[in-house]
Amino acid sequence: MNTDLTGKKVLVLGGSAGIGLATAKAAAAAGATVVIVSSNQERINKALTTLPATAKGFAVDLGNEAAVRDFFTTSGTFDHLVFTAGGAFPFGQVSDLTSTDMQAAFGLRFLGAFNAVKYGSKNILPGGSIGLTTGIASLRPQKGWAAGACICGAMEGFTRVLAMELAPIRINAVSPGIVKTGLWAEMSAADREAMYQQAANTLPVGRVGEPEDIAQTFLYLMQNGFSTGQVVVADGGAVLV
């Protein structure tokens, strides 16, 4: 496994915060030149202050196919593409959700990734890879997680078919468990901390995840040239309990 990314270029879509920014930092620390992309210029500017001076950032509506297509016509070539973009998705049982809810949930998390791969894969250099983001909701579904379970299941299937269609480009996905990110921002601080503590008490590792934990998994998949079509779970043991 080549643990050095010196001379490599890594694009992180959704890279202005959370897991995406942590992945950009990890890639930069391993020697890569990084480019972060998200829809919010203010967050991009803030994120760039935490990255090396060689890093660049672009504001692109990742939920808009035309915007994604246009971005990749000018992005140039690169070695690794990571897609971590995705806001909150609707919670609720199937009986409570509408088809509009589900369409909105898939809009960025699945279709955003679909468009990024469709247009971005043409620019990946030999030996390069794509890293997608899913989650354990499809492996360990719970009441109220219908949207999350459906999206995660779709991303897993998408990862596997891409590994066949785009070979020899390597395609893998990371499946996080509960991680301290903006996904839970709509909760009150007290409720959020209570949720983290409750989860930590049940997990074998005794804590919830940090963005840096998931970033290391993305980094591993960039560096391991013999891994493709895989969904790597990084969940602190959640699927076991």
Q: Which of 45, 29, 116, 132 is nearest to 82 (CA)?
A: 132
How confident is the model at residue 76, as a pLDDT? 97
Q: Which residues touch 200 (CB under 8 Å, ≥6 apart)?
A: 206, 207, 208
Taking only Cα atoms into account, the Rg of the chain, rounded to an integer number of angstroms, comes to 17
Give the pLDDT of residue 88: 74
Which pLDDT belongs to residue 3?
Answer: 61
Q: What percent of the chain is predicted at pLDDT more than 90?
A: 85
For residue 174, which amino acid is it? V
| 140 close to 177: Cβ distance less than 8 angstroms | no
Q: Quick one: pLDDT band at residue 1, thresholds 50, 70, 90?
A: very low
3-state SS class at 137? helix
Q: What is the pLDDT of residues 91-139, one digit of tens each?
A: 899 999 999 999 988 999 999 999 999 999 999 999 999 999 999 999 9
pLDDT given at position 85: 94
For 4-62, the pLDDT digits (tens) are 899 999 999 999 999 999 999 999 999 999 999 999 999 999 999 999 999 999 999 99
